[in-house]
A and B are shown apart, each in its own frame.
Chain A
Amino acid sequence: MKFYRLLRLMTKEKKYICLAILFGFLAAISSIGLLGAGGYLISQAALEPPLYTLTLTIIAVRFFGLLRAGSRYGERYMSHKATFRILGRLRAYVYDLLEPVTPQIFSKYRSGDLLARMVSDVDRLQFFFLKVVYPPVVMVIVFLLTGIFLIRFSLLLTVVLWLGFFFVAIAVPMILSMVQKRMKPVLREKNGALSNEVSELFYGFTDLKTNLQLSKKNEATEYESAELINAQEREHIVQLKGETIAKGISFMVALGVLFLGVMLVNAGEVNGVMLALLVLVSLTVFETATPMVELPGHIEESHEAERRVFSVSDQDLKPIVEKGEIGVASSRFPQSITFQNVSFAYPGNERSSLKGISFRVNPGEKVAIVGPSGSGKTTVLQLLLQFYYGYSGEINIGNHDIKLMNEESTRELFSVVMQENYFFQDTVKKNLLLAKPNGTEAELKRVLEAVSLQKLPLETMVNGMEISGGERQRLAIARMLLKDAPIVLLDELTTGIDSITEQEIFSVLWPHVRGKSVIYITHRLRDLHLMDKIIVIDKGRILEQGTYKELMKKQHGYFRRLKQLEQELV
């Protein structure tokens, strides 16, 4: 059902939602009341009665005036509060949605794109209550009550009002939504087409220009822009027509009420004093109804955002094999790691990233996996960390197939330092505590000292400008040290870092991994003589493995040639 999950989330903020609706209703009804009472007041006054008979009406006018201002305030306050609180729930919900499928989901979408889209969809959905749920509810209540109020005078008036309501708030928006439903996909498609074209033009500018294809691309971009603008214009015009018709109908209702009113006064069924009141009420009541024309647009937008957000959880990204619950009791001791004939293709990719990989890392052994970019090095690590499933072959830690092991407790075995290590926008201290929640301040300082960051105060904000790339990597190493897991995984941790800094990083790293198993993934071939074994892969296959000396001895060995090439780099 449409919006089912969203509405369920919302029900948890019942209190604020009800208050917002209450105040919204009061605001609307008091602005009707204000003018109605005003009209009644002058009609009464026109009969030049003694002044005291007017007192009650005067009080009513003032009361409605104040009530309206006050309830508008309450409405604003409560509706914002409800919106923000729903937003909080929505975020937590989306987090919980993404958590189990990260990072598998990124093989399907580019991670940056997906996450940015999720965030902006959530931002859009936060207005679901404010724009989609709340206005119709308030409006229906207002029209119901106003209609009931009018029954006092004549059922006919109520019928005219509700008829107008039906057209303005239900029929016109529905027709509009039907027309727009056909336009929206076109609009989305054109929007996508334009941003594709213009991205390609800007990012591929040099290639386009030097190949004399720029003007062609420019024409294509201009064409898409014109197409999009046309589609938008058509949509806006439909919207405008809807608005005009709705407004016209609300005028007609006012006219009808006036007409009926005069008729009823003539027939003596309604006191003439009431005529002004009726007119003013019927004019004001539609103020809440005309925005309904915008509702289909908001519904469509929210629906689209909802569909995208929740589609993440609907995808089949769960492990195919039922996960086992074998815990890792003796997690303090290094254990062997074996890959047996492991093949794997990322979901949606035709080519396999790994093609029958077999190797073994003995407890306490230091192994480097080297190869050019795109060779499948990192895939090895991702499978080991159980970020992806659906590989063939077997991966074992100790005597256990990792498929049968508890995911969380397996990860306890590893400390990981990657090329891009993630730090939360928080203090150094908080980021370090992530690795060891009960770590003492002294402990943290000791670890910082170990990675030569003793000068960095614990309260410094990470992600601030003052932390350099080299410092970030050392901070990641500090986190690794705090976690003190038996197996250390290093993935391209010095890519994009100059060689002097690289040297510094390694000099703090190697002394701290004694006695641990290490898998070091790199395309730079530095410090590899320190490794017990080197595995060379390209295109998802192992080409060579052996010690540094063994590999360097091979006359035409792949590793030796890679090493030579690297040495010749200026």
Chain B
Amino acid sequence: MIDRRLNDWAIKNKRLMSGNILLSILSGAIIIGQAYVIATIVQLAFLQKEGLSSLLPLFALLFTLFLLRSILDYAVAKGNLRFASKMKGIFRKSLMEKYIGSSVLHANRYKTGEQVSLYTSGVEQLDDYYRSYLPQLIQSSIIPVMILVVVFLNNVYSGLIMLITAPLIPVFMMLIGSMAEKKTQEQLESMLRFSGHFLETLKGIVTLKLFGRSKTHGEQVKLRSDQFTEATMSVLKIAFLSALMLEVLATISTAMIAVEVGLRLVYGQLTFHTAFFVLLLAPELYQPLKNLGASFHTGRNSIAAAKKVWEVLDEEDRPVQWGEKELNSLSRVKELTLKNVSYQLEQQGRVDEGNGNGLSETAEILSDISLQMTRGQRVAIIGPSGAGKTTLLKVVLGLLSPSEGEILVNGTPLPFFSEEEWLSQVAYVDQFPYIFSGSIFDNVALSKPEASEKEVQRACEFAGVDLFVSEFSNGYETIVGEGGRGLSGGEKQRIALARAFLKRAPIVVLDEPTAGLDLETEAILTKSIETFSEDGMVLMVAHRLQTILKADVVYLLENGRIKGAGSHEELMTASPAYQKMMSAYQGGVSHEVL
């Protein structure tokens, strides 16, 4: 049970591998030497009745061997530790490069939690592979063999007992691996599920309270847990039984060896020295094998974690292309054109893993989109959910790379410019802006960290951030939690608008929130769109009739295709699809008495 790619990393590090192998050989030699010296001392003192003084050199030798073994163990363990640390850093770095450089993070926002945990605890689990599992694996494939050889040279019969039983241990382990262990694994998984169930119960306390059943439910928790214990134990019994076989094998063979050498001693076929030497070595033979069995679990975890890491690193991707050109050669963006732009995810398969409904955004595609906007224009995109509206915005922002077609800025293809230059020309107002943990001031200043206090304040006044900041005793220095805990949806939106205002970018890309905003924020949003388009261009996904009416051009998007373009009036006369959409929502409310 190994992971080839994890091993490749280790093998590349020659010093580490040779260190581990050398250590194993040396430890093996020291273990054998130790046993030999101990056997000699005991034999001399016991049978030859040697005095303590003549044995002193042997004691000194034994001491040296003990010391050597300790130092050696420490040195190599430390080397492994260092290597594991280094590898963690490397894995994190490659993961991050992959995430940042690719469209993964945009395309699949619903997997963010998983990505965070892979980066942190997932990589952490790889640590064990290098720190303990791999060295253990090396040791257990070298030391037992050495001991076996030495025992054979001394006493063939003991060697035979060992030869028969020792390989049986890994065989048994594999057997456990395929049979009982599988069951144990299932059981462990169901244990995890069970702790998931416990979580569910805790989440359900409110509901239980509402039905007046919460006080007595603690009993139920205990009851269910106990039932589960019984079920688990009946399965574990089998797993333990196989472990028992292993144990029996190791101890019985030790006992067999003891009796065997004992009897042969009686018949004078063996010296005491050899017999004792072999007996001392017997437990040392089984120890590394047993250790390996114990660390199987760790190894399995690491390999599972590694698998997930490889999955991410191997994911095919189409990174956005960027060039060197500086935009100031154009001074200001006057014109933005999309020519036959299509967007498609490289791998369709992995997108739809039962995330439920409402997540269809992840599978959005765009086909053959052409649109044009000039300075001072407001362009609105409308369409049903899942039509590809947000994806289109992200393609324009340069966050996603079109699979076909091109984006032209003042006539020059976007990939000629440097990424930094382009991103400094655009401001993006998300439907769900992210609020970072820190002060309100810092959150607004995100778009321009070098901005003066006055500038930030002006942006906040513009976006109505000042209106709610005044409610806090710490004002702009009020710390908001990660994700903006304690702020309402409208307030987060205002912070995003203040960011965009502060940035003063010629292109503003805006994803209009659908519902739930307060009237004050609604008014601020409308005013902002006007201000942004005075001097620049605004591209927005629109949900409000007012916004649509005020747009210079409206694009109707359906299933990733443009189904109509023009002003509201033009579309109302020319596009049946547009008419249908407009009347659909009118119909949606008409049943109510107005």
Contacts and interface: CB of A to CB of B under 8 A. Distances in A.
B29 interface: no
Contact of B202 (A64, A115, A566): A115
* Chain A, interface SS category: helix
A7 interface: no
Given A209-B423, A240-B77, A272 B49 contact: yes
B181 interface: no
B217 A247 contact: no
A558 B210 CA distance: 33
B548 interface: yes
B74 interface: yes
A451 B425 CA distance: 54
B514 interface: yes
A218 B100 contact: yes
Given A92-B221, A200-B482, A248-B67, A195 B120 contact: yes
Contacts of B515: 523-524, 566, 569
Interface stretch (A41-49, A154-162, A336-344): A41-49
A57 B258 CA distance: 10
Nearest to A39: B279
A207 B493 CA distance: 13
Interface residues of A, number: 156
Contacts of B69: 251
B206 A38 contact: no
Contacts of A248: 66-67, 70
A58 B483 contact: no
Interface in A186-212: 191, 194-196, 198-200, 202-212
Contact of A240 (B81, B205, B209): B81
Interface in A297-353: 349-351
A424 B544 contact: no
B471 interface: yes
Secondary structure at the B interface, as helix, strand, loop or mixed, is helix
Given A206-B428, A221-B96, A276-B276, A80 B112 contact: no
B266 interface: yes
A434 interface: yes
B16 to A, nearest CB: 15
B462 interface: no
B92 A95 contact: no
A538 B203 CA distance: 29
A222 B92 contact: yes
Contacts of A221: 96
Interface string B66-88: 11011001100110011001001
A389 to B, nearest CB: 14
A93 B430 CA distance: 44
Contacts of A202: 99, 105, 112, 115-116, 119
Contact of B78 (A237, A434, A527): A237
A457 interface: no
B226 interface: yes
Given A38-B279, A48-B266, A48-B268, A411 B212 contact: yes
B373 to A, nearest CB: 18
Contacts of A236: 81, 131
B192 to A, nearest CB: 9
A227 B259 CA distance: 56
Given A99-B205, A212-B424, A244-B73, A569 B100 contact: no
A31 interface: yes
Given A34-B254, A191-B120, 9 more contacts: A39-B279, A61-B259, A68-B251, A91-B222, A99-B209, A196-B437, A198-B119, A229-B88, A499-B588
For the complex of A and B, 5 pairs with smallest distance between CB atoms: A374-B488, A88-B225, A38-B258, A568-B545, A204-B434
